[in-house]
Amino acid sequence: MNKIRNIAIIAHVDHGKTTLVDKILHHCNLFRDNQETGDLILDNNDIERERGITILSKNVSVIYKDIKINLIDTPGHSDFGGEVERVLNMADGVLLLVDAFEGPMPQTRFVLQKALDLKLKPIVVINKVDRKNCIPEEVHESVFDLMFELDAEEWQLDFPVVYGSAKNNWMAFDWKNPSNSISPLLDVVIEHIPEPKIDEGSTQMLITSLDYSSFTGRIAIGRLQRGKLSSNQQVSLVKRNGEILKSRIKEINTFDGLGRKKVDMINAGDICAVVGLENFEIGDTIADFENPEALPTIVIDEPTMSMLFTINNSPFFGKEGKYVTSRHIKERLQKELEKNLAMQLEEKGDSGDKFVVYGRGVLHLSVLIETMRREGFELQIGQPQVIIKEIDGKKCEPIEELTIDLPEDVSGKAVEIVAVRKGEILSMEVKGLRMICKFMIPSRGLIGLRNQLLTTTAGEAIINHRFIEFQPYKGEIAGRNSGSLISMENGISIPYSLDKLKDRGRFFIYHGESIYTGQVIGENSRGNDLVVNVTKTKKLSNVRSSGTDEKVKLAPPVKFTLEEAIEYIQKDEYVEITPNSIRLRKILLDENDRKRLSKQISS
């Protein structure tokens, strides 16, 4: 069985990539009839399942009509664009999924641009044609227009189109005549996606992904471009900087269904996992032992945002986490850099306990923080900062295209919120009862925007953004206009105190919760910070009088998710993250220290 097709599935977030892969796996009889598999089989990471998004790209293979099809499922969020850029090198064609109602979205453009640049053959799948008010023909037109706009070549513009509903398990060439399976799509893949193009020459394989096994160590994944690889073969490892290391392959695995199968030899064109190499990184080339020739390495878009990671030095440090020292945090961040190409790390200061991590956006970095938190780390995070560059002597900042899909009646308020954050409106388009607004906005303006828009639209806004370019600095953007309520004492919050202070603002803590001096326990209704004592109990006297004990009624506190907390904090605050808690605190816990610092700044 030498026939192979390598194909990546790309789309905007939530257009149904992982669901389509599920149906392909079932159609190719990868499971027993009585086997329970659940849905979204490839989203096997806890965070992916909870958020309902794909974060890491995955490889699976199926056999259809005696042809092996290697499928690569990719993430849809622009924050994980680094994953998409890496794995497209392994594919010969792409399935571009587009929602039959929404049409091409910002992320569709981003991933399609990458695929067209790599000269991949597209197949367009217009999914979710069972949705009410869907417009498949218009979506087909808009996909063609988008490809034309992205300078697709003529042979790429001549793309086949399949309509269907992955959820309902059918694909067809005419959306009005549903079929009873997804085989029409697989037939199109075999007919239109070219077989891997194999050049003559010595062995060459670009490492595009990493995996780790506690038994065999690090595993290199990639597509063999030419030549052959066999177990126990001696090879050269050509590093990104041109250095050549000699190494030996212990074993080779090929992708087989959801797992891997050990093989003795692999031919050019197939995707494989190589065990036994040492000191390799993504972007290195496995080449011939005698005459090593390097492949062009992977180029990744640069980061646009940074965050400060530091050790947890609050009064509650070490109570919940296993890993609390700067050594642990540094090792974990360096390990992440190996497989997360869009991330960069820099140590800050001489103390060795502060690290600046650069990434693609708040979501990109918050997934790393959430993963570390679940692994038992305790750490503190500073306010996200946008990367400012100097281009031709001018101060420049990253600009993004923002798309907001929201009910028509609240669109005016949304435009006002974005305008305050230096957003410029590009277009407003009505779709049914909803309005789709497009803006150009500085990345700084996106920090904290999601919370504000969701509050304004009663949770109905759908927000997407993608990085465009660096442009001259747009000027200051007003931050949060309310101050913080800060705890005065260490202790336990008392309902009596919370009740007496409820007019001052809203709280982030329940009664009976342990708190410490300098912790941010609420939001002040005015613009200044206010230090309050919520550990004070009611003074008891031995005089009994009727009517003095009124019933305490407390509003439920505001509980932030990790991203909301990171976007909420001010410059002088940290988010303290432990396996069980997310707390906000002032960097300087003592009130006198804070006053002293503000005097120094003002003088």
In the chain, ranges of CATH 2.40.30.10 domains: 204-288
What integer is the mean pLDDT of 136-151?
89
- Does an H or E element contain 369, and which? helix 362-374
Strands 484-487 and 530-532: parallel
From the options 2.40.30.10, 2.40.50.100, 3.10.105.10, 1.10.760.10, give the CATH code of 204-288. 2.40.30.10
State the pLDDT confidence band at 2, using cuts at 50, 70 and 90.
low
Architecture of domain 389-472: 2-Layer Sandwich (3.30)
Q: Is the pLDDT assigned to residue 583 strictly greater than 90?
A: yes
**Phi-psi region at 283: left, alpha or beta (left = phi > 0; alpha = psi -120 to 50):** left
DSSP character for 301?
P
> What's the pLDDT score for residue 25?
80
> What's the pLDDT score for residue 356?
92
Spatial separation of the C-alpha atoms in residues 592 and 441, rounded to whole Å: 39
pLDDT digits (tens, 9 = 90+) for 262-293: 889 888 888 888 988 888 888 889 998 888 88
In the chain, ranges of CATH 3.40.50.300 domains: 4-192
Report the chain's mean pLDDT, rounded to a whole number: 84
Is the distance from CB of 193 to CB of 93 less than 8 angstroms? yes
What integer is the mean pLDDT of 441-453?
85
- Segment among 147-151, 215-219, 508-512, 550-554 with least mean pLDDT: 550-554
> What's the pLDDT score for residue 117?
86
pLDDT digits (tens, 9 = 90+) for 73-128: 888 776 677 777 778 888 889 888 888 888 887 777 778 888 888 888 999 999 88
What integer is the mean pLDDT of 280-308?
85
Q: What dotted CATH number matches 4-192?
A: 3.40.50.300
Determine the residue type at 315. Answer: P
Encoding tokens for residue 191? 């007919």
Q: At the fourth CATH level, which superfamily is domain 484-541+549-602?
A: bipa protein (2.40.50.250)
Residues contacting residue 175 through CB under 8 Å, at least 6 positions apart: 100, 126, 129, 136, 163, 164
Q: Is the pLDDT assigned to residue 210 strictly greater than 60?
A: yes
Q: What percent of the chain has pLDDT over 90?
A: 15
In the chain, ranges of CATH 3.30.70.240 domains: 389-472
What integer is the mean pLDDT of 293-303?
80
> What's the pLDDT score for residue 404?
87
Per DSSP, which regions of 16-160 are E strands? 58-64, 67-73, 93-99, 121-127
Longest dimension (CA), the chain: 99
> What's the pLDDT score for residue 171?
86
**555 phi/psi in degrees, rounded to 5:** -70, 145
Q: Is the pLDDT assigned to residue 387 strictly greater than 50?
A: yes
